[in-house]
Amino acid sequence: MSRPGPLFVAIDTQEVDRARALIAAVGTHAGGVKLGLEYFVARGPEGVRAVMQPDVPLFLDLKFHDIPNTVAGAVRSALALRPAFMTIHAAGGRTMMRAAADAARGSGCRLLAVTVLTSLDDADLASVGQSGPSLDQVRRLAALARESGADGIVCAPSEVAAIRAEVGPDFTLMVPGIRPVWAAAGDQKRAMPPKEAVAAGADHIVVGRPITGAADPAEAARRIMAEIEG
């Protein structure tokens, strides 16, 4: 499979028919689709198989975070769905990430470590005992993920330029928290428009509700791609 395009559409639903219709609608315009916890917990692996099309790359966003042996087993199990990308939590530490990377090695799936969720800001981090700016934590976790064998990270758009300068061109940056100027921010606290995020160094951006909640999801996806390419 060729390198996926920059836009991944987050399919946040519990319904098979809804997910299938959205994937069919946006597949032509997007580089791939993201299926996460909401859909996976409701429908499981068979639900993923029921909606995915063979020519649409899958970003399986389950954010594994547990003891190393358990995470390695979860990664091996998830590989049966042939995802292009899969997530673990960088906060699980070096040993956990190495176990996950070993489990994914040779599969063609790129393992991404989640750094700091885009719904969190500095005040949120302080409330759980993490002092200092979110960028400092993202830097630490990005370096740890790279040392541990991960293929890339998930980070907020505001952190992309600084992280790209530190990790170089061959480390994948998958970037949620993307909001076109014509869309509401929702629960994203560290957001950025699509074109700015890609220009800053994002390899892939994740957009959900501005596309899936639109009257015409295909047109919304096309509009975002036009913004990126324009």
pLDDT per residue over 179-205, tens digit each? Answer: 887 755 555 455 688 999 999 999 999
Return the CATH number at 58: 3.20.20.70
Q: Using one digit for the tens of pLDDT, what is the confidence trace for 42-55? A: 999 999 999 999 89
Q: Which entry of 34, 63, 189, 195 is annotated as an active-site residue? A: 63
Beta-ladder partners of 10 = 34
Where helices occur in 152-208 by DSSP H, the ranges are 160-167, 194-200
Task: Compute the distance between CA of residue 121 and CA of residue 41 in angstroms, rounded to an integer.
Answer: 27
Lowest mean pLDDT among 2-6, 14-18, 130-134: 2-6
| Interatomic CA distance for residues 114 and 59, integer angstroms | 13
pLDDT value at residue 191:
65
Residue 122 has pLDDT above 90, yes or no: no
pLDDT tens-digit series, residues 129-167 = 887 788 999 999 999 999 999 999 999 999 999 999 999
**195 an active-site residue?**
no
Tell me if 206 is assigned to some domain.
Answer: yes
Q: Can you tell me whether residue 27 is helix, strand or coil?
A: coil
User: What is the token pair recorded at 186?
Assistant: 């929702």
* Cα 198 to Cα 107, 136, 195, distances in angstroms: 27, 21, 5
Is 1 within a domain?
no
Query: Taking 80 as the threshold, does the pLDDT of residue 212 lie above it?
Result: yes
pLDDT at position 145, please?
97
Are 12 and 39 in contact by the 8 Å Cβ rule? The answer is yes
Residue 17's domain comprises 7-229
The tally of domains found in the chain comes to: 1
**Residue 44 in domain:** yes
Domain annotation covers residue 2? no
The reply to whether 104 falls in a domain is yes
Given this model, what pLDDT does residue 57 score?
A: 97
pLDDT for 1 = 46
pTM for the whole structure: 0.92
